[in-house]
Amino acid sequence: MENNEGKLRKVPECGIVDFNDKTKSIPKDTLVTTQAKREYLAHVWAQYKNASRKLKSQILDEVSRNLGIHRKSAVRLLRQRYEPRSLQGFRGGRKTSYSKEAKAHLEWLWRQMCYMAPVRMKAALPDWLPSDDHKNSTEAVRQEILRMSASSIRRFLAKARADYARRMNAGTHRGLKKFLAKVPIRNLEFTPKEPGYVEVDCVAHCGGSLSGEFAWTLTLTDIHTGWTECEAIWNKTSDAVYKALQHIEKRLPFPLKAMYSDNGNEFMNQIIIEKFAKKGRATPLPIERGRPYRKNDQCYVEQKNYTHVRHLFGYSRINWDKSVTHMNSIYRNEWRDLQNFFLPQQKLISKERLGARIIRKMGPAETPIERLKPFLNSLQKQALEARKANLNPFTLRDTQQSKLRQLMGYYKNTTRIQEWGKLVV
């Protein structure tokens, strides 16, 4: 290594390359395999340890130039405590003591044992395994599972537990197959030209954790006019959703003609499909659903979940049952009138992609009541116009903000209980 002159390397189709000549670059054809690099580093590492300061500098120059790496990377490779691995693909650590069949069967057992924690599962396995008659269960596999410690069980179930937690933390849970079979997939090519075709969805006021009980908001929006109604409920049960839909339908200035929802079990159940859609109606209300895991199928109501719900109450957790009454006081009065009478909306007419740009053409800004008027008779139109004439948007906004401050102030302990009782609902 001290005298590198005359050390030449034969390279196919490229002639002879002098690695000591810094003025010449190494041809790409001289690239070697990772295995060869490992062997080269293992050979140079031993010489670098006992070399002088000057020789170390020369070795670093050579390694950096030969491997095409930064000098600092060469320093890290040669200054490490142990010799670089010379065998490619070598993996340290001991081999696993358990077979793939045992790990797979452990995951099946975990689901059958009600998703126990590893420590509890370890204690319960002696009582469960004697009764295990699964087709993939053998005596050898059962003995392997019995030998597993709680730490090993936790390690082998890490991915399955994470997937289960992710699925359980979702706000929407798929309805039963027998109800999904009764509700057809909606025709996405159909664009309503009249009011009455609505989309519904639920928004969780959980504050980032879906555990426990908290308030939800049911949002209903008309596709053609953009008319939107919201109703707060306590827990997303089918009965609560049914009552909320009844309250919303009474407030609507137009009759329902069809309702579109996602595949959540709050809508895909017997109470909504049979009771709400058919009871007391001369003609059953058509209920259709979007495709699974296609959020954009419900695009009209999804955008209202922010402008009408999140923009008002944010993402904080509302876990006081009496708050539902006060939320509905805002939804049914000030917020409803502001959004439908005084806040214009624009609808997308067309969308065109030009390279990396997306050109959107939007329609005129109109309020939902303006889009609704052509479909109302004279009496209905006069009633809505008279209601709007008696409203002041600034008064609505001030009252709504006052109620919201009192609601949020209660949670932050900034409002006294005596003042909280004066909230008008």
Position of tokens 């289960």? Answer: 164
Give the model's confidence band at 154: pLDDT under 50 very low, under 70 low, under 90 confident, else very high. Answer: very high
CA 97 to chain centre: 36
Helices (H), 50-90: 53-67, 71-79
Give the model's confidence band at 134: pLDDT under 50 very low, under 70 low, under 90 confident, else very high. Answer: confident
The tally of domains found in the chain comes to: 3
Residues facing residue 366 across a β-bridge: 345
Helix axis angle, 34-49 to 53-67, nearest 10°: 170
Check which CATH number belongs to the domain holding 219 and give it. 3.30.420.10
pLDDT one-digit tens code per residue, 246-278: 999 999 999 999 999 988 888 888 899 889 988
Longest dimension (CA), the chain: 105
Range of the domain at 123: 100-168
Question: Distance between CA atoms of 257 and 247, rounded to whole angstroms?
Answer: 17
Phi and psi torsions of 149, nearest 5°:
-85, 170
Most confident option among 130-139, 171-180, 181-190? 181-190
Q: 205 and 313 in contact (C-beta within 8 Å)?
A: yes
Q: Is 294 a residue whose pLDDT tops 90?
A: no
Are 44 and 161 members of one domain?
no
Are 201 and 288 members of one domain?
yes
Are 276 and 146 members of one domain?
no
Q: Is 41 a residue whose pLDDT tops 80?
A: yes
Q: Percentage of the chain with pLDDT > 90?
A: 26
Question: Distance between CA atoms of 84 and 71, rounded to whole angstroms?
Answer: 17
Are 117 and 183 members of one domain?
no
Q: Which of 168, 195, 219 is the last residue of a domain?
A: 168
Query: Which range among 39-43, 190-194, 357-361 shows the weakest confidence by mean pLDDT?
Result: 39-43
Q: 290 and 223 in contact (C-beta within 8 Å)?
A: no
pLDDT one-digit tens code per residue, 379-405: 999 999 999 999 888 888 889 888 888
Task: Give the model's pLDDT for residue 251.
Answer: 93
- Residue of higher predicted confidence among 125 and 167: 125
Task: Give the model's pLDDT for residue 6.
Answer: 43
Give the model's confidence band at 50: pLDDT under 50 very low, under 70 low, under 90 confident, else very high. Answer: confident
Q: Which of 119, 146, 168 is the last residue of a domain?
A: 168
Task: Give the model's pLDDT for residue 69.
Answer: 87
Per the domain annotation, does 209 fall within a domain?
yes
**Contacts for 16-19: CB closer than 8 Å, 24+ residues apart:** 19/62, 19/65, 19/66
Q: What is the pTM for the complete model shown?
A: 0.61
Task: Give the model's pLDDT for residue 167.
Answer: 62
